[in-house]
Structure 1
Amino acid sequence: MAHTVLHKAETRGHANHGWLNSYHSFSFSGYYNPERMNFGALRVLNDDTVDGGMGFGKHPHDNMEIISIPLEGDLEHKDSMNNVAVIKNGDIQAMSAGTGIYHSEYNKDGEQRVKFLQIWVYPNKKNVEPRYDQITLNLEDRHNKLQQILSPDANDAGVWIHQNAWFHLGKFDKGISSEYTIKGEGNGVYVFVLNGGLKINDQLLNTRDGFGIWNTDKFNITAETDTEFLLMEVPMEF
């Protein structure tokens, strides 16, 4: 029997710093909920909006896999590995913080807000050499199908991280169905709905709802409306 957990959008932690409006699916910063510390190796899922001309100053990370998925606008990234890059909708960025990095994220556009998902995954190796990866995805590859955007394998589709994890994006028209098969033994999947209505097996999800499912080999996905969603498969024990 599959195990599940439902996190409705309105139950998320919320912090509005003026320039930053952030919703937290799991405990983060000033939001603490002992029942929502993580989903397996998935530690952070922040749904962030950054005002024009604002951003995150230089700050440190270590021993964490950090994934950024822009939804709107452009975000400039700088780090202590001398990377300077702009990520925008259609891109995905992954960093292995490993032994330690500093980075900053900034919205240089004075008019347009930036919306992006900030995701942290616990690594399966500690104190690795820090690394940075960024690619531009083909948006057509997620229309009515699941587009792999992250895996444990540098030679596979998408970016890669130090964890037995796979991420997929889907953009389904109303009525489209698909089946997802768990790739890693002992893994679960956290589903995050970007917009629209979606059913996972018999559970209806709406915009910004989160739903975890594990102890199963596969599950069904059905678009109740035109919908976009993110699937994050991660180890439940790590």
Structure 2
Amino acid sequence: MQKIIHKSEKRGHVDFGWLKSAHSFSFGNYFDQDKVNFGALRVLNDDFVEAGNGFGRHPHDNMEIVSIPLAGVLAHQDSMGTSRDIQTGDVQIMSAGTGVTHSEFNGSKVDPVKFLQIWVIPSERQLTPSYDQKSYLDLDRKNKFATIVSPNKADTQAVFINQDAYFNLADIEVDTTVNYQLHSEANGVYVFVLEGAIEIAGEKLNRRDAVGIWEINEIDMRATADAQVLLIEVPMF
């Protein structure tokens, strides 16, 4: 087993007034040579956007971009003709492929929006851009993981990603242990604690702490307080 710990307070932080963001990996003006990526996982930004503000139209290419609102609503528009609101309880993916432009604004004029913006390097370059969005509110994730992003097109509960990557959510009750089995020996897992606290791989993690683990086939974690956990399985190349 190999592992790397990313404590919440050690993330890169920016504050533009209307936008407050914590970067788990190098992004924008924040650069840490030891935090460029975790395998195919390139970006994990924990964003807070004030009411009526957001990101104007800008380009992307050759990246799988996942947005997960944690509170509030995102208003999305892109050059593929998509115009959608992304509610709390939704997961959205935009495969930028050969190139796409989009904007992402707070969909409320009153309340802030909190969301995760996550980038994954695709398995192939120059793919045709695409968009998908689904709700995970009805998925059973009490004391087990529910998959919300998957490379398996037959998995109707998850949005499709062009990579051997799996995003999973779990709500774990205190003193409960859950197990996760990896899909491939070539993959690792990045475990991000949304709320609460867990013990995993001999480490104690609290809210917004993370650990990357590889060279394993499965992993156990125990909640030391009621916890919400995002687990991202990605190729380690």
Provide, for residues 116-171 of structure 1, a one-character-per-residue CA deviation record: whole Å limited to 9, x for no partner.
Answer: 00000000011010000000113451122111111111111311111001110011
Q: Does 1:178 align with 2:178?
A: yes
Deviation at 1:200, TM superposition (A): 1.1
Deviation at 1:110, TM superposition (A): 1.7
Q: Match of 2:143, SS?
A: coil
| More deviation, 36-45/140-149 | 140-149
Q: Does 1:53 align with 2:52?
A: yes
Deviation at 1:49, TM superposition (A): 0.3
Aligned to 2:103: 104
Counterpart residue identity of residue 234, structure 2: V
Deviation at 1:203, TM superposition (A): 1.1
Structure 2 stretches of 5 or more lacking a match? Answer: none
Q: Does 1:188 align with 2:181?
A: no
Distance 1:162 1:140, change over 3 A: closer
Structure 1 stretches of 5 or more lacking a match? Answer: none
Aligned to 1:205: 205
| More deviation, 194-203/68-77 | 194-203
Q: Match of 2:211, SS?
A: strand
CA contact (8 A) 1:70 1:115 kept: yes
Deviation at 1:108, TM superposition (A): 3.0
Q: Match of 1:10, SS?
A: helix
Q: Match of 2:94, SS?
A: strand
Aligned to 1:74: 73
TM-score, normalising length from structure 1? 0.97
Provide, for residues 163-203 of structure 1, a one-character-per-residue CA deviation record: whole Å limited to 9, x for no partner.
Answer: 00111001111111111111122100000000110111321
Counterpart residue identity of residue 170, structure 2: G
TM-score, normalising length from structure 2? 0.98
Aligned to 2:145: 146
Counterpart residue identity of residue 158, structure 1: A
Q: Match of 1:197, SS?
A: strand
Counterpart residue identity of residue 228, structure 1: Q
The root-mean-square deviation of aligned C-alpha atoms, in Å, is: 0.9
Q: Match of 1:189, SS?
A: strand
Structure 1 distance, partners of 2:17, 2:34, is 28
Aligned to 2:168: 168
Structure 1 distance, partners of 2:161, 2:167, is 11
Deviation at 1:98, TM superposition (A): 0.2
Aligned to 1:8: 7
The 4+ residue runs of structure 1 with deviation greater than 3 A are none
Aligned to 1:215: 215
Output aligned runs, 1:16-165, within 5 Å.
16-156=15-155, 157-165=157-165
| More deviation, 37-46/216-225 | 216-225
CA contact (8 A) 1:90 1:139 kept: no
* Matched-pair identity in %: 50
Provide, for residues 70-129 of structure 1, a one-character-per-residue CA deviation record: whole Å limited to 9, x for no partner.
Answer: 100011000000101011111000111000000000113122110000000000011010
Structure 1 distance, partners of 2:190, 2:17, is 29
Q: Match of 2:140, SS?
A: helix
Structure 1 distance, partners of 2:184, 2:62, is 22
Corresponding pairs, count: 236
Structure 2 distance, partners of 1:235, 1:108, is 34
